[in-house]
Structure 1
Amino acid sequence: MRNLCPCGSRKKYKNCCQPIHHDHSRAKTPEQLMRSRYSAYALGLTDYIINTYSPEISSKLNRKEIESGTQINWIKLSIKKSQITSENEGYVHFKAFYREQGETFVLEERSRFIRIDSSWYYVDGVFPTE
């Protein structure tokens, strides 16, 4: 299928992450926001990535570092676990695969999200050790 969403949902981009990229309050769960952020990295949507960090963090961000993350060849997202732990907090454990100089690498993170005024935001993440 053409024009599939980069987030791996197997839906067309226009029916998946694109509406959330236009209005991030459409992400109703931490997982939807996580998927939309991954797609934003894959599509080079730096402003969206910055705008979906929690407000207290976004002012401290380095735009060039985020832009460098959008230059990576992201190839696949795998959600390992998604949970909402309270009305305004949730976590998503994911693996994001990327290719660099002919080799495939994986970024694994357990991300924390908070809800402010009915919109989810990324706060931070830890790199799980198994």
Structure 2
Amino acid sequence: MSSRFALGAVWLLTGVCGRAAAFVVSPGLPAAPGMQPQLHPTQRWSGPGPSSSRQQGPILLAKGFGDDKGRSKPATKRNKDNKMAKIKTKTPAASAPCPCFSGNPYGDCCKPFHDGEKSAQPVQVMRARYAAYACNMPQFIMKTTHPDHEDFGKPGWRDSILVFCNNYKFTGLEVGQPEEDQDTPDKVYVYFTAMMAGAKVGGAVSFDERSVFVLTDDGEWLYRAPDANYKESVNVISKRKYNAAAKTDRPSGFSAR
């Protein structure tokens, strides 16, 4: 997740998607923007014992479906630019399943939002942000992030998103119904659970968040932050147990890279 990837962010994350959707990074791995990494003292763990990421050292949470907090190895500007240039956008065919796991074709789901053809409602923004993380689309993540988000405008924000996108495979998303704020009509809460897989976490990770979306004067819904009153949960699955479940209960598209 502040990139439920706002997803709202992940930071799925997010949605995909700063202080955003809770997500786990092992030591040395930068988190994604809209997925802002930070130590989280109140996380609830349900992962396996010795194999869980609690045993791997400090856990970074990314909210909102992040930036590099200095844990990455130093690199020259030229090497960094070359690395970023190699991370290409992965645009699905219009007829392919949408990366947001809605079950609809990409052309009828998130593509119009990615192309800027129409405005999205909060749940659609959430899904489109998650899909943007899966497709290496940092500009969309940045475009749908509210200026009040703590990552907004930070140096290296775009590169931070790209690194995160490149290190993970986005393998599942479930989004709840939006909830309107009782006191603020231009604020909506969206709950989501996002799943990711990647070698650097040694298996799979799922996390949930209640994201805050705010309606701007221009009529655009933007991801602002995770709901501070909601306690996220993180589940880390060891690579061994993850692979053992491959033939039984792995969600569609849920495969480790």
Q: TM-score, normalised by structure 2?
A: 0.46
Aligned-residue identity in percent: 30
1:92 positional shift: 1.0
Which residue number in structure 2 is paired with residue 107 of structure 1? 207
Pick from 144, 147, 152: which aligns with 1:55?
147
Which residue number in structure 1 is paired with residue 173 of structure 2? 77
**Structure with greater strand percent:** 1
1:24 positional shift: 7.1
1:20 maps to a residue whose letter is: F
- Cα 1:25–1:53, aligned 2, differ >3 Å: closer, same or farther? farther
> Does 2:186 align with 1:88?
yes
Which residue number in structure 1 is paired with residue 115 of structure 2? 22
Larger Rg: 2
Which residue number in structure 2 is paired with residue 34 of structure 1? 126
> Does 2:159 align with 1:64?
yes
Query: Which range moves more in the overlay, 80-89 or 100-109?
Result: 80-89
> Is the Cα–Cα contact under 8 Å of residues 54 and 114 in structure 1 kept in the other structure?
yes
> Is the Cα–Cα contact under 8 Å of residues 209 and 232 in structure 2 kept in the other structure?
no
Which residue number in structure 1 is paired with residue 69 of structure 2? none
Residues 15-69 of structure 1: per-residue CA shift (max 9 Å, x gap): 1000001117520x21110000000001110111011111343323622222222
Aligned partners of 1:34, 1:129: CA distance in 2, in Å?
Answer: 17
1:103 positional shift: 1.3
> Is the Cα–Cα contact under 8 Å of residues 24 and 33 in structure 1 kept in the other structure?
no
1:42 maps to a residue whose letter is: A
Query: Which range moves more in the overlay, 67-76 or 77-86?
Result: 77-86
Aligned partners of 2:177, 2:107: CA distance in 1, in Å?
Answer: 25
Residues 42-100 of structure 1: per-residue CA shift (max 9 Å, x gap): 11101110111113433236222222221210000011442232431111111110112
Query: Which range moves more in the overlay, 17-26 or 40-49?
Result: 17-26
**What are structure 1's unaligned runs of at least 5 residues?**
none
Q: TM-score, normalised by structure 1?
A: 0.86
